[in-house]
């Protein structure tokens, strides 16, 4: 159990009822349970509706600071899938923490990068 103060709520999933604890930057179930990906997603949505800040609000590394997002073309210097030849993935949003300077991509941006890699592979005939 965590030592952080949070609010407790009843969380209904399937035919079961759980106690979910929510803070501004995290959530957990009081009862130990193996959670499926769908259950985790439902728990996160529930927590967001009950006081947890969206992930973009706090740095996932240091959890101390709001993050800064900037969008632009991302030069991919070495990509194994493209025989190490550089190319540019257009319009990718990078997120950086002003506190710890960590830079990361959210999953939606990783999917855009993967789509750009596949498009470049097709353009180069590397499929």
pLDDT, tens digit (0-9, with 9 covering 90-100), for 88-126? 888 888 888 888 888 888 778 888 888 888 888 898 888
**C-alpha angle 90-81-113 in degrees, rounded to nearest 5:** 25
What number of other Cβ atoms are within 10 A of residue 50's Cβ? 15
User: Model-level pTM?
Assistant: 0.48
User: What radius of gyration do the chain's Cα atoms show?
Assistant: 19
86 three-class SS: coil
């Amino acid at each position: 159990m965590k030592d952080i103060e949070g609010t407790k709520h009843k969380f209904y999933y399937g035919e079961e009822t759980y106690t979910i604890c929510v803070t501004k930057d995290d959530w957990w179930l009081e009862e130990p349970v193996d959670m499926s990906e769908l259950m985790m997603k439902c728990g996160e949505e529930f927590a967001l509706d009950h006081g947890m800040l969206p992930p973009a609000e706090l740095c996932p590394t240091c959890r101390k600071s709001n993050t800064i997002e900037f969008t632009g073309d991302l030069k991919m210097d070495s990509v194994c899938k493209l025989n190490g030849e550089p190319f540019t993935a257009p319009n990718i949003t990078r997120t950086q923490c002003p506190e710890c300077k960590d830079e990361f991509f959210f999953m939606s941006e990783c999917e855009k990068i993967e789509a750009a890699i596949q498009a470049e592979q097709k353009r180069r005939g590397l499929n």
